[in-house]
Amino acid sequence: MHLDALDTPCALVDLDRFERNATRMSDRAHDLGVRLRPHVKTHKCVEAARIQTRDHFGGITVSTLSEARGFAEAGFRDITYAVPVAPQKLREVVEINSRIDRLAVLVDHMATITAVEETARPFAVVLPVWLKIDCGLHRAGVDPESELAIALATRLRNSPQIDFRGVLTHAGQSYSVASREEARAVARVECAVTRSFVERLAEAGVAVPEVSIGSTPTISAARNLDGIDEVRPGNYAFFDVFQQTIGSCVLADVAFSVLATVISVHAEHQRAVIDAGALALSKDPGPTHVDPACGYGRMVAVEDQHPLPGLRLTSLSQEHGVIEGAGTAALRPGTLVRILPNHSCLAAACFESYRVVRGTDVIDEWKPFRGWSGC
Ligand SMILES: Cc1ncc(COP(=O)(O)O)c(C=O)c1O
């Protein structure tokens, strides 16, 4: 089927670009001497994760228990659930963990460690747990310079209910950089903070089995990952306009796009409206710190995805997207358009399935896991 036969709005995965992104990151991880545990929250699809893990040990990172259960049922046996675990979800974690080699969780608080122990004890199981540290994002994670961080690691190491996996961090501050060089500097911080915490723990008599780091900007730019065991980039599978703007990739690497239809044209105002709004693209404002006029994504040609600078996606409401610019003169109701989103993870999450294309041929359909709970 040609993609112009698809109903819109429609999510497209360009398989050539996706496979190239997967191979490049896989080679990068090999060259840097680390294991690749891709974060599959970007697409949440079994087919995509199989391609990303094919030259590595098979481990993946997920962001919901729905993903954890789905990927476990699909045969993935080593999974890290990479948001600090809510105590109420631990019963389900125990159950999924019992079906595979390992469903590891993240903690950054004593109360969560207590909850892990209390949930695991009655089942006489040992749960795999990472200590999440904050390397500068200031979102989740314990301050690695604090005494609390040492106390948490010591307790994890000594608990009979816990298999202490090691120290994990995510340098999400890499999204505020303006270039690959700046992302490389954040990667150095990501490594340095974890390495020095591991040294402090060694002085305190706490051995750290493994160190896990990773974001797409830092791992795409890093030149040296000495002292790091595994990396967890995720967005690189699709990339997006944000990553292109901050230098993680070029536009021709962006493997996810949204196909839409023009539904209203106002030539006198150089304005047109498409049927892809915030529920197809998300309302991610994009890399405004580098390009204040970025709008809500980049308009590209439907057939070969070359950029269309005469068209700008300037506003979104629920089911409407407004395009402005001289290029609107060529548009009519019914014209197909294609958009590379600002943030592919959020745009992809708007869809129940993705159409997989090679060029303009639709060759497959991938269905992601949705929701939060795996029950
Ligand atoms: C804990 C953790 N690890 C890895 C990633 C992957 O980073 P990226 O989306 O930049 O690929 C994320 C993303 O939010 C994360 O929260």
User: What does the DSSP assignment read for 75-109?
Assistant: T--EEEEEEEPPGGGHHHHHHHHHHSSEEEEEE-S
What CATH number corresponds to the domain at position 111? Answer: 3.20.20.10
Query: Quick one: DSSP state of residue 39?
Result: B
Which pLDDT does position 179 carry in this prediction? 96
Instruction: Give the Cα separation of 101 and 124 in Å (integer).
Output: 16
- How do beta strands 230-231 and 35-36 pair? parallel
Pocket test for ligand 1, best of 170, 176, 246 (most atoms within 8 A of CB): 170
Provide the pLDDT for residue 374.
Answer: 61
Size (the chain), residues? 375
298 lines ligand 1 (CB under 6 A): no
Choose one of 205, 237, 269: the last residue of a domain. 237
In a domain, 294, yes or no: yes
> Domain limits at 27?
15-237
Tell me: do 188 and 319 sit in the same domain: no
The span from the CA of 241 to the CA of 283, in Å, is 13
State whether 156 and 286 are in the same domain: no
* Cβ pair 92, 374 in contact under 8 A: yes
Is the residue at 93 inside a domain?
yes
> What's the gap in Å between 256 CA and the centre of ligand 1?
18
pLDDT for 16 equals: 98
Q: What are phi and psi of 60, to 5 degrees?
A: -135, 165
On whether both 50 and 131 belong to a single domain, the answer is yes
Measuring CA to CA, which residue among 349, 362, 338, 330 is closest to residue 275? 338
Q: Tell me, what amino acid is at 153? A: A
Residue stretches of the chain with pLDDT short of 70: 374-375
173, 232, 246, 342: residue to mutate for ligand 1 pocket, most atoms within 8 A of CB: 232
Output b/e per residue, 216-246; b: 16+ Cβ within 10 A.
bbbbbbbeebeebbbbbbbbbbbbbbbbbbb
151's tokens: 């106390």
The CA 233 to ligand 1 mean position distance, Å, reads 6
Domain count, the chain: 2
The torsion angles phi and psi of 205, rounded to 5 degrees, stand at: 85, 15
Residue 39 Cβ < 6 Å to ligand 1: yes
Query: For residue 373, what pLDDT is reported?
Result: 85
Nearest residue (by CA) to ligand 1, atom 7, is 215
Ligand 1 pocket check for 243: Cβ under 6 Å: no
CA distance 107 to 19: 33
245 belongs to a structural domain: no
Identify the domain boundary among 209, 237, 265. Answer: 237
Picking from 202, 237, 272, the residue at the C-terminal end of a domain is 237
Residues 6 or more apart whose CB falls under 8 angstroms from that of 313 comprise 274, 281, 295, 296, 297, 298, 299, 321, 322, 323, 339
Is 336 inside any structural domain? yes
Residues 217 and 259 in one domain: no
Check residue 375 and give its pLDDT: 64
Q: Is residue 244 part of a domain?
A: no
- Indicate if 224 and 289 belong to the same structural domain: no
Q: Do 193 and 305 belong to one domain?
A: no
Same domain assignment for residues 55 and 185: yes
Is the minimum distance from the CB of 170 to ligand 1 under 6 angstroms? Answer: yes
Structure token digits, residue 240: 């997006």
Query: Residue 242: which H helix or E strand, with range?
Result: helix 241-245
CATH for 271: 2.40.37.20
Q: Do 219 and 305 sit in the same domain of this protein?
A: no
In a shared domain, residues 270 and 302? yes
